[in-house]
Amino acid sequence: MSAQLPACQLLERYYGQAAQLWPIAPPEDPWLIDRSKAMVSDNVSLRGLWEGRDKAAVSPFDVPFVQQAGQVVLFWPKAHQLGIWWLEWLCRMLPENTPVDVVGEHQGGIKRVPKILSGLGMRCDKLDNARRCSLFATRTVAIENPDSAWQRFEALSLTLMSHPGVFGHGKVDEGTQLLLHAVETALEPLPPKALKVLDMGCGDGILSAWLAARGHEVTAVDVSAFAVEACRRTLAANHLSGQVLESDVYSALEGQRFDLIVSNPPFHQEREISYGPSARLIEEAPNHLTGKGQLVLVANAFLPYPGLLERTFGSFETLADNRRFRVYRAKPEDSSKTSVQASKKRR
């Protein structure tokens, strides 16, 4: 088996097929899984791939932390502040002078790594360069400072906690603001009672906190451990309660149904566009909505979600459109009406 992704191809070229690696924040590549002893990732979906091969896979927030065997290889993320956090995390978790290699694509910012390592007081040796990727070697240093990457800010009368790697880090994006306004409008005609709400892809928890502050019973999920921790901290900072879980779309929610599912779903994985999670969000939503429940999501206007909503629910409506973003609403009852109408036509 050969590596598929450029950064992994560089590792295969340098280490060979006898590689025994311990990847940090790795991408999905069968060769890498095969050559790994264990891995660390914030992504619960990726951890599942390693666990499926009976390999240790942990979140950076798991405690106690247990060092694993193999050459440590950090895959440099597109957000360089997140890359710095991973370097500092490795220095806090591993013994001083532990060898660490850093790999990444040139268009992903790996060329900035030597300067970043220098700023952290860490050595830097270039090991290899190919496939428009570079591989550097460094060693951990003693870092006594606590994790200072968390950012606290105020928005919409709420205190929000954010972390590098979380969507919209440090701000409330335009799409989320449009979604909140549309949700408020959509809920106004309903009786003033607590709804069972799912915040799918919770990010820093702005939607969860906004809904919990209005008395709703909130469950929040995200594939990223950074987002899950941020959402938990946001709820705590506002003295609000809610269930927050790591989940690959609905994977942690078997059998649960909600009156309202809200989402600002991502469509990027690093630099690649991916509609897979968003498609699952829409297609599986009827299985997680109550009879009178509703799915409300915001998306960039150019994304092909209307077709998915039409196929899944039979119909949908646009609650808001500012030309850059659109807020869509769909209901299972629309799907059942469409099925009844189709049945009558067949008769």
Same domain, residue pair 103 and 162: no
CA–CA separation, 171 and 30 (whole Å): 36
Segments in 256-304 forming alpha helices (H): 276-283
270 and 290 assigned to the same domain:
yes
Tell me the pLDDT tens digit for each residue of 27-83: 999 999 999 989 999 999 999 999 999 999 999 999 999 999 999 999 999 999 999
Show which of 88, 112, 139 is a domain's final residue.
139
Q: What is the CATH number of the domain that holds 80?
A: 3.40.50.150
101 and 158 both lie in a single domain: no
In a domain, residue 288? The reply is: yes
Residues 240-267 pLDDT 10s: 999 999 999 999 999 999 999 999 987 6
Q: Where does residue 188 rank: exposed (0-12), middle (13-18), buried (19+ CB within 10 A)?
A: exposed
- Domain of residue 100, residue span: 6-139
Q: Are 238 and 226 in contact (CB under 8 A)?
A: no
Q: Looking at the structure, do residues 81 and 170 belong to the same domain, yes or no?
A: no
Q: 272 falls in which pLDDT band (50, 70, 90)?
A: low
Give per-residue pLDDT as tens, 179-229.
Answer: 999 998 888 777 778 999 999 999 999 999 999 999 999 999 999 999 999
337 pLDDT exceeds 80?
no
| pLDDT category of residue 340 using cuts at 50, 70 and 90 | very low
pLDDT (0 to 100) of residue 189: 73
Q: Any idea what the Cα angle at residue 146 is, between residues 224 and 76, rounded to 5°?
A: 45
Contact 255, 284 (CB under 8 A): no
Distance CA 224, CA 200 (A): 12
In the sheet that 71-75 helps form, which strands lie side by side, from edge to edge?
A: 56-58, 38-40, 21-24, 71-75, 99-105, 133-139, 125-130
> How many domains is the chain built from?
2
What's the pLDDT score for residue 145? Answer: 75
Say whether both 213 and 325 belong to one domain: yes
**Among 139, 135, 149, 11, residue whose Cα is nearest residue 79:** 149
**Distance between CA atoms of 120 and 142, rounded to whole angstroms?**
10
Residues 210, 98 share a domain: no
User: Residue 102 has what pLDDT?
Assistant: 98
Strands across the sheet with 243-246, in order? 243-246, 217-222, 196-200, 258-263, 289-300, 325-330, 317-321
Q: In the predicted model, what is the mean pLDDT of residues 2-17?
A: 96
Residues 100-154: tens digit of each pLDDT: 999 999 999 999 999 999 999 999 999 999 999 999 999 999 987 778 899 999 9
Instruction: Kindly state whether residues 126 and 20 are assigned to the same domain.
Output: yes
Asked whether 33 and 49 are in contact (CB, 8 A), the reply is yes
Strand 325-330 with 38-40, pairing:
unpaired
Q: Please, are residues 292 and 331 in contact by the beta-carbon 8 Å criterion?
A: yes
Whole-number pLDDT of residue 169: 84
Last residue of a domain, one of 89, 115, 139: 139
Residues 155 and 135 in one domain: no
